[in-house]
Structure 1
Amino acid sequence: MDENRRVCRGGSSRIPTGEDRATEDQIVIRRGAFHRCKEKKLMHTLRQYQVPLQRYMALMDLQERNERLFYKLLIDNVEELLPVVYTPTVGEACQKYGSIFSRPQGLYISLKEKGKVLEVLRNWPERKIQVIVVTDGERILGLGDLGCQCLPVTIDVGTNNKKLLNDEFYIGLKRRRAAGQEYSELLEEFMSAVKQNYGEKVLIQFEDFANHNAFVLLEKYSKSHIVFNDDIQGTASVVLAGLVASLKLVGGTLGDHKFLFLGAGEAGTGIAKLIALEMSKQTKIPIEECRKKIWLVDSKGLIVSSRRESLQQFKKPWAHEHEPIKELIDAVKIIKPTVLIGSSGVGQTFTQEVVEAMTSFNEKPIILALSNPTSQSECTAEQAYTWSKGRAIFASGSPFGPVEYKGKTHISGQANNAYIFPGFGLGLVISGAIRVHEDMLLAASEALASQVTQENYDKGLIYPPFTNIRKISAHIAAKVAAKVYELGLASHLPRPSNLVEFAESCMYSPRYRSYR
């Protein structure tokens, strides 16, 4: 019997006296002090580990032993622990998952279960599921195909990663990745089984699917399910929020700026699409015209109209009339963007020459190096501030520490999807959304940008500190839910009078109960 129940049940049914109540108050106080002491001790222990992966393993072990304490620890120390449980450390954890594996923490569905997916879902102990995050592990961060070495719901269709196929500790199917009909049939079975088992309104968040599947799945199932792709839409929403916030530092509107991307995959094209949507909404200019201010560079160079026939479908809207340009530095010098965004998954591609070129025609160049993990970042914070002579407005996908340049401390923001997807999902759930609409993503971006304070701007930040993530998430959820109601896509009626308060009341809080 746990401590809470021992205190609750006690040993007598008599009415407590004043003296008894005083004793119970002391027990409650002692229990609170005990858990504060426990939390402090755990943080002390975690800080002794020199290797981030060891901290990750210790935290995952704590989650198994005491989930409530795990979340309490994470909430109270979010800025320190988020880089451990999320990017960049989680990338290494996924790469080495077979070696550090001790017990399953998520749900695995493999090709071997084809025809039995509904049965597998019914074996999961929880019945009331509102959000499912699912991956097939083909595009984890900037690390590529990691097979089934990621969580929480993994559809194991094999892996094309030769290193994993030859790894004796790899826990997944040792076969080449399924494709074509075999793949699509398994995904169709999964999507149908989710609806059948959990209902029409369960939100399915696609995570880390490769380009060739991600766009197809999002397009196909957005018509029949409540679906959201974090890599395409979540990244876009958080980046747009940073850009909207950055306007307070550089001036003008989105329509006054010119954007150049290095990387034209899920993240790059997703961000570009949302920028164009917001620009069109603000200016009332057709979206086709707004796209002309957005240029993308892929592995073959600038995406231009002469390449249209050979381009993948999702790249075609960004093929503008221009002569071909092979190198990024030449594109920067000719296009002269005010905003440079990296989503290439290739590290150190924003070279000193590139950053200096951006600085030569921008008083405050906006440089976003979004690729994860840290090793894949297009440039570091120190490089961005040093090469721009302290003038860059910089944010990254992975966290970087403060940078000193000529006596001034620059603190860079992190364009982290964790700002968006918890609040976005919560907003859909509390409103009972029956579909996801792009205007909801715009609402999430606007809500996040509004949380950046003058104090944050004074430090050069275009994102609020993660310390306030629960407050931020509540505001995002409220804005998203409001948009759901406005679009007539809500099924939870009537609308709550105060959506922020309602969102906060629906959040999980890992509190220890007080028994009086």
Structure 2
Amino acid sequence: MTAAPYRLIPEPNGAVRAEVRLRGSSVLSSPALNRGTAFTLAEREALHLTGLLPTGVSTLEGQVRRVYAQYSETSTNLRKWVLLANLRDRNEVLFYRLLSEHISEMLPVIYTPTVGEAIERFSQEFRRPKGVYLSVDHPEDVENALRNTGLGPDDVDLLVATDSEGILGIGDQGIGGIEISVGKLAVYTAAAGIHPRRALAVVLDVGTDNQKLLNDELYLGERHARVRDGRYDALIEAYVTACQKLFPNAMLHWEDFGASNARRILNKYADRVCTFNDDMQGTAAVVLAAAFSAVRAAGSKMRDQRIVIHGAGTAGLGIADMMREQMIREGLSPEEATARFYPLTRNGLLTHDNPLLDFQVPYARRREDLADWGVAAGPISLTDVVRNARPTMIIGTSTQHGAFPEEIVRMMASFNDRPIILPLSNPTSKAEAIPSDLLEWTDGRALIATGSPFEPISYGGITYQIAQANNALVFPGLGLGVTVARADRITDGMIAASADAVARLSNATQRGASLLPPMTDLRAVSAAVAVAVAQQAEQEGHAQVELTDVIQQVHDHMWRPVYPELEIL
């Protein structure tokens, strides 16, 4: 059997040692080994690189400064994305070191929203394959495709898969969705130290209903309409089964699936494998963290909240489900907890006399129960709901710009000393309200978290830090905690523990303080979340390794982007 060209061996405290058999240009072609001008003269001699590089020897720090200068001089975010993608393909350590040092600045480039532009141009800009491409027309090839990665049963910590139907705000993007999985994994690595060689990006190519793609002669995916029958489920089943067989300890992360499949797939496999849907559970967890922080600042408890959710889709009701479970943990009955939510769609409050999706049914109201509201037949508006339900918290997942107008916000402020207002739709052009307006309309009393980033706001002599409810505060640490504990399932308790860990890193009781920690602290946030998740997994009996010193075990698992010690064979 031929020896591997190189092998990466984990060391304590996130370090890595590399056993290397490659020589010459093959070393420079390996992103995991290549360090470019940072190879010492002795290493160049031993690896047959003499003369293949400029004679000057750089430090990693010097390389970071050079590349960051190039990045700063690049004119558009899409070009910056291309620069970073090319760097990752050339030198992984340098890419992740640069990203980790500038994470809050670069997150919108490597992930949302800029990655959306890259996904739309995937077939035109294609350079080299990343991840694994699985076709609905060839489910029999799924296991073989995953085997072809060359990774063994103990080599993979997580896989991020998408079917590309609900990509960000741009919808069905077919084969190009692979870039959303690649971008997600970059955040896992930069924020939580998941080693890039221990994770796989996957696209489930089930066709596309995007006519622009189907008519594009350069399109690289399956050229037919999106499959929605039993063949779709057969591909999902083949994927899950192959992952269980080949990578039994890996977490399966589902990303940007359409509303009709996201919840259904999660419910089907949640009790069978270690699985997680970031659009539902990650979004819900970071919103729960903001809610925990806001409720503490308001001097209340989750069980006492009355919550309006404007946008009763997968994300909005995923938030409701998680908050409802927390209320039950705090002592409410399931029926009492459910009754504290008032979800709306574009057609008004969910009521049983209107068409409902299956996951909306538990939250729908009966018209007879609203008789004292004095509303006419037909849709029950947000204004009607706020006036009659007198909510303590209002959450926006509607993508309707300005859906929280002055009248409604002032109404909330009239019966809440600290109204909790979370306009979560992004980008900013779709936000239900703007933080500066919310502060003005509530005399600075509103507790706010948004989906898009906003600069601090001065009002009444106080500077208000606006929390961004970004999933990156939760999912990287959750994945790390699952990896450390080798958890066999992801439970509601583990996700709630991640939310509580995030909330405890911010003290919102001080007027103007953010409800959530800043994005610049992602590495520390991820470590705290991982510790909480691993401990909860152990408490619930889902940890498959002994946690003897969980803090140290978490830090030992966090890969640091530094060049590995070379053992040249």
**Which residue, out of 144, 148, 155, partners 2:175?**
148
**Which residue, out of 474, 478, 496, partners 1:442?**
496
Deviation at 1:281, TM superposition (A): 1.0
8 Å contact kept, 2:342–2:363? yes
2:97 aligned counterpart, secondary structure: helix
**Which residue, out of 318, 332, 337, partners 2:391?**
337
Deviation at 1:403, TM superposition (A): 2.9
Aligned counterparts of 1:44 and 1:383: Cα–Cα separation in 2: 37
The answer for the alignment partner of 1:20 in structure 2 is none
**Which residue, out of 378, 389, 396, partners 2:450?**
396
Deviation at 1:44, TM superposition (A): 2.2
The answer for the alignment partner of 1:415 in structure 2 is 469
1:245 aligned onto 2:297? no
1:313 aligned counterpart, secondary structure: coil
The answer for the alignment partner of 1:316 in structure 2 is 361
Q: CA 1:8/1:350 → structure 2, altered by over 3 Å: closer, same or farther?
A: farther
**Which residue, out of 418, 431, 440, partners 2:485?**
431
Q: Percent identity?
A: 35
Aligned counterparts of 1:94 and 1:359: Cα–Cα separation in 2: 42
8 Å contact kept, 1:141–1:373? no
8 Å contact kept, 1:296–1:303? yes
- Structure 2 letter corresponding to 1:460: A
Q: CA 1:352/1:172 → structure 2, altered by over 3 Å: closer, same or farther?
A: farther
Deviation at 1:514, TM superposition (A): 6.8
Q: Which shows bigger deviation, 311-320 or 128-137?
A: 311-320
Deviation at 1:325, TM superposition (A): 4.2
Deviation at 1:457, TM superposition (A): 4.6
- Structure 2 letter corresponding to 1:192: T
Deviation at 1:442, TM superposition (A): 1.1
User: For residues 367-414 of structure 1, what are the alpha-carbon distances to aligned partners after superposition, in whole Å with 9 as ceiling and x for unaligned?
Assistant: 112223333332333343344443322211222222344554332111
2:253 aligned counterpart, secondary structure: strand
Q: CA 1:373/1:156 → structure 2, altered by over 3 Å: closer, same or farther?
A: farther
Structure 1 or 2: more helix by fraction: 1
Aligned counterparts of 1:457 and 1:92: Cα–Cα separation in 2: 39
Deviation at 1:361, TM superposition (A): 2.9
User: For residues 483-504 of structure 1, what are the alpha-carbon distances to aligned partners after superposition, in whole Å with 9 as ceiling and x for unaligned?
Assistant: 1111112211x322x2122111
Q: CA 1:119/1:395 → structure 2, altered by over 3 Å: closer, same or farther?
A: same
Q: CA 1:11/1:65 → structure 2, altered by over 3 Å: closer, same or farther?
A: closer
8 Å contact kept, 1:4–1:513? no
Q: CA 1:458/1:57 → structure 2, altered by over 3 Å: closer, same or farther?
A: farther
The answer for the alignment partner of 1:39 in structure 2 is 64
8 Å contact kept, 2:282–2:475? yes
Deviation at 1:328, TM superposition (A): 2.1
User: For residues 307-351 of structure 1, what are the alpha-carbon distances to aligned partners after superposition, in whole Å with 9 as ceiling and x for unaligned?
Assistant: 4xx322111111134446432233222222121111123333223
- Structure 1 letter corresponding to 2:127: S
Aligned counterparts of 1:174 and 1:141: Cα–Cα separation in 2: 22
1:495 aligned onto 2:547? yes
**Which residue, out of 208, 223, 226, partners 1:174?**
223
**Which residue, out of 509, 512, 523, partners 1:470?**
523
- Structure 2 letter corresponding to 1:439: G
Aligned counterparts of 2:75 and 2:392: Cα–Cα separation in 1: 40
Deviation at 1:298, TM superposition (A): 1.3
Q: CA 1:158/1:241 → structure 2, altered by over 3 Å: closer, same or farther?
A: same
1:204 aligned counterpart, secondary structure: strand
Q: CA 1:359/1:87 → structure 2, altered by over 3 Å: closer, same or farther?
A: farther
Deviation at 1:453, TM superposition (A): 4.0
Aligned counterparts of 1:364 and 1:44: Cα–Cα separation in 2: 44
Q: Which shows bigger deviation, 379-388 or 206-215?
A: 379-388
8 Å contact kept, 2:293–2:507? no
The answer for the alignment partner of 1:82 in structure 2 is 107
User: For residues 228-263 of structure 1, what are the alpha-carbon distances to aligned partners after superposition, in whole Å with 9 as ceiling and x for unaligned?
Assistant: 111111111111011001123222111222110011
1:382 aligned counterpart, secondary structure: helix
8 Å contact kept, 1:136–1:154? yes
Q: CA 1:514/1:457 → structure 2, altered by over 3 Å: closer, same or farther?
A: farther
Deviation at 1:57, TM superposition (A): 1.7
Unaligned runs of 5+ in 1: 13-29
Q: Superposed, which structure 2 residues align to 1:454-469 within 5 Å?
A: 457-469=510-522
1:297 aligned counterpart, secondary structure: strand
Unaligned runs of 5+ in 2: 1-23, 25-34, 47-55, 182-201, 371-377
Q: CA 1:281/1:50 → structure 2, altered by over 3 Å: closer, same or farther?
A: same
2:129 aligned counterpart, secondary structure: coil
Q: Which shows bigger deviation, 130-139 or 339-348?
A: 339-348
Deviation at 1:416, TM superposition (A): 0.8
Q: Which has the higher contact order (CA 8 A, sep 6+)?
A: 2
Q: CA 1:202/1:83 → structure 2, altered by over 3 Å: closer, same or farther?
A: same
Q: CA 1:377/1:178 → structure 2, altered by over 3 Å: closer, same or farther?
A: same
8 Å contact kept, 1:87–1:372? no
User: For residues 205-249 of structure 1, what are the alpha-carbon distances to aligned partners after superposition, in whole Å with 9 as ceiling and x for unaligned?
Assistant: 111111211111111111221111111111111110110011232
Aligned counterparts of 1:325 and 1:363: Cα–Cα separation in 2: 29
1:150 aligned counterpart, secondary structure: helix
8 Å contact kept, 1:141–1:372? no
Deviation at 1:154, TM superposition (A): 0.7
- Structure 2 letter corresponding to 1:302: L
1:183 aligned onto 2:208? no
Aligned counterparts of 1:347 and 1:100: Cα–Cα separation in 2: 32
Q: Superposed, which structure 2 residues align to 1:59-74 within 5 Å?
A: 59-74=84-99
2:339 aligned counterpart, secondary structure: helix
**Which residue, out of 477, 481, 493, partners 2:534?**
481
**Which residue, out of 314, 332, 335, partners 1:285?**
332
Aligned counterparts of 1:463 and 1:65: Cα–Cα separation in 2: 35
Deviation at 1:4, TM superposition (A): 6.2
Aligned counterparts of 1:144 and 1:261: Cα–Cα separation in 2: 22
8 Å contact kept, 1:145–1:159? yes
Per the normalisation by structure 2, the TM-score is 0.81
The alignment's C-alpha RMSD in Å is 2.5
2:137 aligned counterpart, secondary structure: helix
Aligned length: 491
Deviation at 1:168, TM superposition (A): 4.0
- Structure 1 letter corresponding to 2:562: R
1:108 aligned counterpart, secondary structure: strand
The answer for the alignment partner of 2:117 in structure 1 is 92
**Which residue, out of 265, 269, 288, partners 1:221?**
269
The answer for the alignment partner of 2:196 in structure 1 is none
Q: CA 1:373/1:113 → structure 2, altered by over 3 Å: closer, same or farther?
A: farther
